[in-house]
Structure 1
Amino acid sequence: MRVGPSDASLRHRVIFNRRSLCASMLMTLNLVLMPLKAYITEPFPWTPARELADCGSNFTACAPTLLAFYQAAATPVSGAYYVASDVVDIYALELPTTLSPDAFEQKAPFHMLYSDAQRDYSRSISVANSTVNSNGSVARVMFASVPALYNAAWAVRGLNTTGAYFALQRAPSTTLWLCIKLAYRVALSGYILRCIWREYFVHYKHLASSLGASGLDVAPHGSRFEILVGDPTSIILLNHFVSLAFVIDVYMSPDYFVRSLQRVEQLENIPAFALASLYLSRTVWFAYGALSCFSCVVRKKHWQDAYEDVDPSLVALAVALTAGPLTYLQVQIPLVSAVYNLLFTVFESSAVAIELAWSFLLYTTIMGSLPIAFAVGTRWQRVCARRLRHVTSRVHSLADVCDHAAFATNDLKHRWTLRWSLFSWQAWCRRRDTPTVIEHVGGSVYKLFERSRKYKRELGISQRGADCYVLFETSENELTSVRLSLLATVDMSHLPVMTVAKYAVGRIEFRSDGTAVVVQGRNASPWVM
């Protein structure tokens, strides 16, 4: 794709690699649509409302009607089953009548969400030959003292077993509230798109124009340049406002969040488990937000060398794969389950209600702390590994820069994107007669960060994926790859800056006295090689 001015004075032809541009657009689309992914589970405001029992005005008078509504939706227990629907979720299983009260309560479905009255009820029906209260026990699930859900526990005594039931239903939401959430998410999508353009893609226009007019100091005169576009994901992940906005978005839907938590606490309905795990993967923004906050603390305390930057793609993948199983595991541990239930009930005065806020905060804190633990652990593991190894270090600075410029130093997603962008079927079949990258140049910012991480503006998340590459031929079938990084990744408060308008991009030069200086390119270029 030809870009830049069509001025006849341009000495170099500049094109964009179409595949890399396509991949970057797909990643941008993924970021922009991320706020709207909640609607995989949540309804749009115009979705026809299902019939939901509402006890918002008088819970005491409404509770028997609510229980009858749930019991009518349940079917007799035969083994164990879980029914997931937009109206009500019901989990049922058979338990032996000989269980002790403590054992029965621990095995009862979703005992972690029991109110004080429901815990007393579950213990009473566990006693052999006891009379089962057919009324069951109904409770309100509050979030910041506002009803978010209703739940109910009841039992049906058989000859040798007791059928234990648990139902959970969202409190009805007004159309106005659904519209407010939709407007918030659309506005967040628009803000993300604006940030991507202003903080990332607009710089490619500058790069293409400068390359066409000035070229690179490492390229022959009249070279043809091909730009491989990078991934803007890390730019957004390190935006503190975006992370905060996503955290607020999660807290705006406690009903769907708790329903998803319930669905991953069972294995009888695997499709419901999988869809709920996907919804819970939104907690990845607590991880990114925690990394951003931790970065501020680390910089203030000068602990920059205490932990390693993490691959954002691996963080997202890890949270997506572990959100469901990790939640399920927490429920299976009696101590953890007891702590959650304590937080549900200790701040709620009513025996027929639980308060979500504090347990919600604990859960999101646990999910957010995982990448921090990984970053610190990885850093110390590497420090220990270096102490165990006795390897002769190379002093040649150009070799160090070339190491940082290589494709292999990129994030996982970026490595595969580069392979796809440069893939040639002809080269794969014939292994000859096609250009092959033989030299890597650039990456001076990473040599700077290697000297001292105080020069890195944002810590915690690797930003290598945002780098772009400029390719040009040095001879027949031979290419040189120049790695370019955004100057915005560098904390400029520690570095002197000088401008050399002769070439399109800048670089970071290291002087003989050990100091570094930023040399900017044409028109205060935002790129450095």
Structure 2
Amino acid sequence: MGETTRVGPSPTAVRFCVRRNRSAMLVSLIMLLNILSMPMKAYLSEFLPWQTVPALPDAFANYSSFSNATLAYQQAHYTPWTLPNGSKYFDDAAMDVQVLRATLNLTNHEPIRSRADCLASFVLGLPGLIYYTPVQLDLVCALAADADVNASSWDKVGACYVDKFCTIVIGHSCVWLSAGDAVHGGELSPHVVTITYTFTGTRLSQWLWWKLGFRTVLTIFVAWRLWQQYYAHCQRLQECLAVRGHCANLSPTEWRYELVLGDPTAIILMDPSVACAFVVDIWISTNSVGIAVLRASQNGDLYVMFVTFVYLSRTVWFAYCALCVAAYCLKKWKIEHAFTEVDPTLVAVGVAIYGPLVSWLSGNVGFLALLYQWTFTLLVPSSLLGQENELGPGCAMYTLLIACLPLAYGFAIPALRHRFCKHRSKTPNYASPFYNSIKNRTIFGLLAPFRPSADVYPVEATKRILERGGAIYSLFATNSRYKNCPTISLRSADCFLLCYHNESLVSKIRLSLLCSLDCNAATPELAPARAYLSESFPGIAPTIVSPVFAPFGAFENATLSAYMTAYSDVSALGYQYDQTSSIYVLRRTLDMSATPTALRCVTDFALGLPGLIYYTGAQLNFLCAFLASDIRRAYVNHGACHVDRSCALDIGYSCIWLSQRKEDPPDVYVLSYAYTATRWNDWLWIKLVYRIGITGLIAQRLYSGYFKHVRDLETILRSHGHCLGLDAHTWRYELVLGDPTAIVLMDGWVAFALVVDTWLSTNTIGVAILLAAQADDLWVMALSLVYLSRTVWFAYFALCAVAHALKKWRCEHAFCEVDPTLVAIAVAIYGPLLSQLSVFVEWLVRLYHWLFVAFVPNDAKAHENELGPGCAMYTLMVASLPLLYGLAQPPWARHRTRWRHKVAPAVLQDYASPLYNSIKSRLLVRFLSTLQAPAPRAEGGSVYALFAANSRYKNCPTISLRSADCFLLCYHNEALVSKMRLSLLGSLDRNLGDPTLAVRIASVVATSNMNELVLHPGQPPTIRRPWIPSPWCI
């Protein structure tokens, strides 16, 4: 049996030039990212599962024990001395406690005897008001009824209660009074009291992991639905235009197209399963929503209030879900005309204003506060009133308050229009891009092809630019029963096709998705609409040709014939990409008029030809025979093909052939090289999921290895300063974060995963190398160079492997650690240079040819490549760059040091200096005047002094971690008095297995709140631990 191979390419080859409008594409992708990021916006205010979880509260025998113990604990921890002066809001992230305070000046207070008057005026605006139980309201109203307030008699009076959601405990709250102004401090006044409200959320680690998993799945589901319901249709539309144009019998040399994508947001909003999933996502974090409502009602911390408003913007999904439910009801009862579809952008803007406003009004308007308090105690047994709240009914009311906003608008407009607009308004131009959502009207106004012009006419006109399309909206205006979703406007999802004839814009066509139409198949009198609209969009789905299998000879003949037919137009030399069939075509002109037949084929003729390193023996023989022939025209419209495999898997096939142009002299030929990359959708999905997993792994490693430590450092500084016994009112700090990149680079698992990720797309790497070596399309070449920059992970993985070997064999001194930034820059230059050299240097070409057939059976070497060995060599060539530097630098440095000592005395290195850093960080320091200033001199960097003395102490001897260091600027009475370089202890190998080098813990406690590395001449160093555990070292 002969070898069987798939015949290609597809007969549906690209003929028309179709490009996407870049500005509209960018806006569309921004809208896509906005939707995809919606589940993860929760983590603006919520905790990630790997963050430290506070200890669960102790179990108490009864409510009195719980309330007394919890109240005493809260009052001891949140005092005027532990909270920032003047702060009405404080977030204790370590214990997950929200603290809100307000000062009540009752100097000229008139007693309020009536409870109704108290609830209507005195309590309004108090922190956490809507969550008060009757016990807290009684306490505050008793204070309001006191005719002569004595602050000391109300000091530390209060109570605590439990917050539940659907009977599940989600936290507990406390309210108490304190004598004097605890917010601003000062002398104790007998008529001034401070009311403090605290909420402590319950955080369960397993539940946080479940929520993260749910949100990750929801994000992937939304991405899949958007691709399936919108972007896949856009892709097929572009492919159809490229093959057939917008009408039949058009010349591809005279017509070109520009496709302006719309905003896919509305497509996903009308999906009830997505809307319900988002509503569930919001209410599985009830305590976080409650905290957000608290934060939105305070103005002591404007940044926190802003972040809270962004978090509460997620509640727009209450409105979208309500619109989906209303759409179902309207369709079921056939009353679509009773509702005016709403603009999703205006809904989002409305909820962004209305939601925080509702949160603020709920604590400042009497009936709303009482309504919330009533709903929170509605399902609480009378015996437990004052001891707990059940938030379920209140959350349902909050959902309805948000959801009613677009519903009220949608139902009110038809009624108002019917009452006040008796005359028939002017029919809008449905084909116009400005018959759209407010967001899209604004965007189209900025795009040159859509700016107002006198040259635009409706379809009936015969002058210049014609606007066509929008018939579906004319149908909706005639009868709203045709709307598939009568509540949400889908106009923003429309695409616009700009048709250019001989480089002149002659037509703008509005294209709407058929999914917005209800064909009313169950209603016979409306069914003909299906045929009418089908005729308006002919030939949308391209023909799919079943694959044919044949022996290689038949494959070669069929493929060459298909290539030469599809790409017969060689008037435009250079690079061409057929996106429909995934084919890359490169061409080169060969002037053979002065080329003798006796040249050395590869050395003098073939070098520099497109795709040369991938040529098999048969293709080289074809070229060499053409060169040596006296009748070269006999080789026109002939060529040779081969199949590319990677680890025995087919990844593509390519051909070369010769042709001639009519206008060229008889001795000028065109060599074409075409490569078809195989694509499997299942494999693409697997790669996408794998890459999402890698992204999550990197984010987790960055957080656990760096940002978690930064957050702990900030907590220590806020609570205790950089040393013990400092006055919080006179000291402040500025923390300059470092670059955490090196933390990830030294992680062998991450580096290995990214190397695997790179070689999962062997054919794409091969194409990138191919396109990086051409100069006909500079934009494509630039994109290929950016893509090839991913191969820097070959170098990083090699550095991780060498680091392991150096540590194992205890020869850390033999390697000089490298700057990760310089490695990336070097690979960005070296990789493309390697690609260029592989085409123009003969020994490299022959080496690749030998490697690509090294594991191919002899009978298949003429028409098959096995790329595995070549990929391995390319990996080693990229990986060798930093290794050669690191191994060569130590002997060179010793030689240079000896020469310098003969010329000038040695200069001691300042390891604490911010300029003792990576090249990228040194450049950034130039823009920070406080770090660049010579005074005061920085402290720290002792870990690098230890590394210089003995490289055995390096945890990673190949990658420099200096860029990850933080710098702490200490201000006393607004004067900069100290700069401290803080390094992670993780960069230090304590060598506990070697008694002569082991870094022990000193018996002396550190003088600061960071670890202190103390160097002892002739002895191993020691570490002084602080009272508060810290991963940072001075």
TM-score range, shorter chain: 0.7 to 0.9
**560, 570, 577: which one pairs with 1:67?**
560
**129, 135, 141: which one pairs with 2:630?**
129
Is the 8 Å Cα contact of residues 10 and 212 (structure 1) preserved in structure 2? no
Tell me, what secondary structure is at the counterpart of 1:165?
strand
Tell me whether 1:149 sits opposite 2:657 in the alignment.
no
Alpha-carbon distance between aligned partners in 1 of 2:676 and 2:976, rounded to the nearest angstrom = 64
Tell me whether 1:498 sits opposite 2:997 in the alignment.
no
Structure 1 match to 2:741: 233
Tell me, what secondary structure is at the counterpart of 2:734?
strand
Alpha-carbon distance between aligned partners in 2 of 1:355 and 1:414, rounded to the nearest angstrom = 43
Tell me, what secondary structure is at the counterpart of 2:978?
strand
Higher relative contact order (CA 8 A, sep 6+): 1
Sort the Cα spacing of 1:182 and 1:67 in 2 relative to 1 into closer, same or farther, 3 A. Answer: same
Alpha-carbon distance between aligned partners in 2 of 1:6 and 1:275, rounded to the nearest angstrom = 56
Is the 8 Å Cα contact of residues 968 and 980 (structure 2) preserved in structure 1? yes
**890, 893, 896: which one pairs with 1:382?**
893
Structure 1 match to 2:1025: 520
Superposed CA offset, 1:289-329 (max 9, x none)? 01111111222222212221111112112222332233102
Q: Residues 321-470 of structure 1: matches in 2 within 5 Å?
A: 321-349=829-857, 350=860, 351-390=862-901, 391-393=904-906, 403-420=910-927, 422=929, 437-470=935-968
Sort the Cα spacing of 1:346 and 1:393 in 2 relative to 1 into closer, same or farther, 3 A. Answer: closer
Is the 8 Å Cα contact of residues 732 and 972 (structure 2) preserved in structure 1? no
Specify the code of the residue in structure 2 equivalent to 1:504: N
Give, in angstroms, the shift of residue 145 of structure 1. Answer: 1.1
Tell me, what secondary structure is at the counterpart of 2:1028?
coil
Alpha-carbon distance between aligned partners in 1 of 2:545 and 2:928, rounded to the nearest angstrom = 54
Is the 8 Å Cα contact of residues 576 and 584 (structure 2) preserved in structure 1? yes
Sort the Cα spacing of 1:53 and 1:219 in 2 relative to 1 into closer, same or farther, 3 A. Answer: farther
Q: 210-219 vs 360-369, which deviates more? A: 210-219
Superposed CA offset, 1:479-502 (max 9, x none)? 421000000110123311237266
TM-score, normalised to structure 1, is 0.82
Tell me, what secondary structure is at the counterpart of 2:1027?
coil
Structure 2 match to 1:29: none
Tell me, what secondary structure is at the counterpart of 2:564?
helix
Is the 8 Å Cα contact of residues 914 and 922 (structure 2) preserved in structure 1? yes
Structure 2 match to 1:205: 711
Superposed CA offset, 1:33-73 (max 9, x none)? xxxxxxxxxxx896547689997844634333322232234
Superposed CA offset, 1:143-184 (max 9, x none)? 11111111001113672233222111201x221111100000
Structure 1 match to 2:492: none
Is the 8 Å Cα contact of residues 440 and 482 (structure 1) preserved in structure 2? yes
Structure 2 match to 1:111: 612
Give, in angstroms, the shift of residue 257 of structure 1. Answer: 0.7
**801, 804, 821: which one pairs with 1:293?**
801
Alpha-carbon distance between aligned partners in 2 of 1:421 and 1:442, rounded to the nearest angstrom = 19
Structure 1 match to 2:767: 259
Is the 8 Å Cα contact of residues 648 and 866 (structure 2) preserved in structure 1? yes
Is the 8 Å Cα contact of residues 405 and 482 (structure 1) preserved in structure 2? yes
Structure 1 match to 2:677: 170
Is the 8 Å Cα contact of residues 345 and 355 (structure 1) preserved in structure 2? yes
Sort the Cα spacing of 1:423 and 1:85 in 2 relative to 1 into closer, same or farther, 3 A. Answer: farther
% identical aligned pairs: 26
**986, 990, 1004: which one pairs with 1:488?**
986
Give, in angstroms, the shift of residue 256 of structure 1. Answer: 0.7
Is the 8 Å Cα contact of residues 589 and 671 (structure 2) preserved in structure 1? yes
Is the 8 Å Cα contact of residues 153 and 164 (structure 1) preserved in structure 2? yes
Alpha-carbon distance between aligned partners in 1 of 2:795 and 2:719, rounded to the nearest angstrom = 43
Give, in angstroms, the shift of residue 81 of structure 1. Answer: 2.1
Sort the Cα spacing of 1:471 and 1:108 in 2 relative to 1 into closer, same or farther, 3 A. Answer: closer
**611, 621, 640: which one pairs with 1:120?**
621
Alpha-carbon distance between aligned partners in 1 of 2:895 and 2:546, rounded to the nearest angstrom = 59
Alpha-carbon distance between aligned partners in 2 of 1:149 and 1:56, rounded to the nearest angstrom = 15
Is the 8 Å Cα contact of residues 939 and 979 (structure 2) preserved in structure 1? yes
Is the 8 Å Cα contact of residues 93 and 109 (structure 1) preserved in structure 2? yes
Tell me, what secondary structure is at the counterpart of 1:408?
coil
Tell me, what secondary structure is at the counterpart of 2:586?
strand
CA RMSD of aligned residues (A): 3.0
Superposed CA offset, 1:253-282 (max 9, x none)? 011111111111222222221111111111
Is the 8 Å Cα contact of residues 608 and 840 (structure 2) preserved in structure 1? no
Alpha-carbon distance between aligned partners in 1 of 2:551 and 2:627, rounded to the nearest angstrom = 27
Tell me, what secondary structure is at the counterpart of 1:308?
coil
Is the 8 Å Cα contact of residues 915 and 925 (structure 2) preserved in structure 1? no
Alpha-carbon distance between aligned partners in 2 of 1:218 and 1:461, rounded to the nearest angstrom = 35
Sort the Cα spacing of 1:148 and 1:454 in 2 relative to 1 into closer, same or farther, 3 A. Answer: same
Aligned length: 479
Structure 1 match to 2:101: none
Tell me, what secondary structure is at the counterpart of 1:244?
helix
Give, in angstroms, the shift of residue 92 of structure 1. Answer: 1.8
Tell me, what secondary structure is at the counterpart of 1:405?
coil
Alpha-carbon distance between aligned partners in 2 of 1:254 and 1:231, rounded to the nearest angstrom = 31
Alpha-carbon distance between aligned partners in 2 of 1:202 and 1:217, rounded to the nearest angstrom = 21
Question: Structure 1 regions of 5+ residues with no counterpart?
Answer: 14-43, 428-434
Tell me, what secondary structure is at the counterpart of 2:915?
helix
Alpha-carbon distance between aligned partners in 2 of 1:166 and 1:358, rounded to the nearest angstrom = 23
Give, in angstroms, the shift of residue 85 of structure 1. Answer: 4.3
Is the 8 Å Cα contact of residues 70 and 88 (structure 1) preserved in structure 2? no
Sort the Cα spacing of 1:169 and 1:409 in 2 relative to 1 into closer, same or farther, 3 A. Answer: same
Tell me, what secondary structure is at the counterpart of 1:459?
coil
Is the 8 Å Cα contact of residues 564 and 637 (structure 2) preserved in structure 1? no
Tell me whether 1:276 sits opposite 2:787 in the alignment.
no
Q: Residues 170-189 of structure 1: matches in 2 within 5 Å?
A: 170-171=677-678, 173-189=679-695
Specify the code of the residue in structure 1 equivalent to 2:969: L
Alpha-carbon distance between aligned partners in 1 of 2:923 and 2:545, rounded to the nearest angstrom = 50
Tell me, what secondary structure is at the counterpart of 2:1019?
coil
Structure 2 match to 1:471: 969
Q: 513-522 vs 144-153, which deviates more? A: 513-522
Structure 1 match to 2:821: 313
Sort the Cα spacing of 1:501 and 1:438 in 2 relative to 1 into closer, same or farther, 3 A. Answer: closer
Give, in angstroms, the shift of residue 447 of structure 1. Answer: 0.8
Sort the Cα spacing of 1:54 and 1:247 in 2 relative to 1 into closer, same or farther, 3 A. Answer: farther
Sort the Cα spacing of 1:321 and 1:522 in 2 relative to 1 into closer, same or farther, 3 A. Answer: farther
Tell me, what secondary structure is at the counterpart of 2:869?
helix
Q: 81-90 vs 120-129, which deviates more? A: 81-90
Give, in angstroms, the shift of residue 109 of structure 1. Answer: 2.9
Alpha-carbon distance between aligned partners in 1 of 2:1002 and 2:546, rounded to the nearest angstrom = 67
Sort the Cα spacing of 1:250 and 1:508 in 2 relative to 1 into closer, same or farther, 3 A. Answer: same
Q: 442-451 vs 408-417, which deviates more? A: 408-417
TM-score, normalised to structure 2, is 0.44
Structure 2 match to 1:243: 751
Sort the Cα spacing of 1:127 and 1:78 in 2 relative to 1 into closer, same or farther, 3 A. Answer: farther
Look at both structures and tell me which one has the larger radius of gyration over its CA atoms.
Answer: 2
Tell me, what secondary structure is at the counterpart of 1:235?
helix
Superposed CA offset, 1:375-428 (max 9, x none)? 22333332221010124347xxxx76xx1111111112222334445579xx9x
Give, in angstroms, the shift of residue 362 of structure 1. Answer: 0.3
Tell me, what secondary structure is at the counterpart of 1:126?
helix
